[in-house]
Amino acid sequence: MTIQDPRYLNQIFEGNSPADYYKNYTQSLTRALSSLDTKLLDQACEILMTAAKRGQRIFLAGNGGSAAISDHLSCDLGKGTLSPGQPPLKVTSLAANGPILTAIAN
């Protein structure tokens, strides 16, 4: 079985100026956003809101670059979703502690 490198999906924006790049990038972003299934987005938000109301903890994980993304998302969800009168999201990135991860791996 041949596995294709996923980077072939990366889009290269053509253009001769920052304005061309901006135009092509925003058009690509608009296409990506319009392709989202908003029902799935609503379901994901409902799961997160239910967890917050129940005082449950949300664990995030990733490998390689995705570990960095899990750390970033943990920060965004833990801090960026604070709203007066609403329970906070309790979020933990399992990738946040590099020393313990490498100690366990050894």
Q: For residue 88, what are the contacts with CB-CB under 8 A and spacing of at least 6?
A: 52, 78, 81, 82
* CA distance linking residue 74 with residue 59, whole number of Å: 8
Give the DSSP H/E element, type plus range, for residue 102: helix 98-105
The reported pLDDT for the residue numbered 8 is 79
* CB 39 within 8 Å of CB 59: no
What is the overall mean pLDDT for the chain?
89
Q: Output 8 or 50, whichever has higher pLDDT.
A: 50
Read off the pLDDT of each residue in 10-18 and give the average, rounded to a whole number: 85
Read off the pLDDT of each residue in 53-79 and give the average, rounded to a whole number: 91
* CA distance linking residue 77 with residue 88, whole number of Å: 9
The single-letter DSSP state of residue 11 is P
pLDDT of 7 higher than 80: no
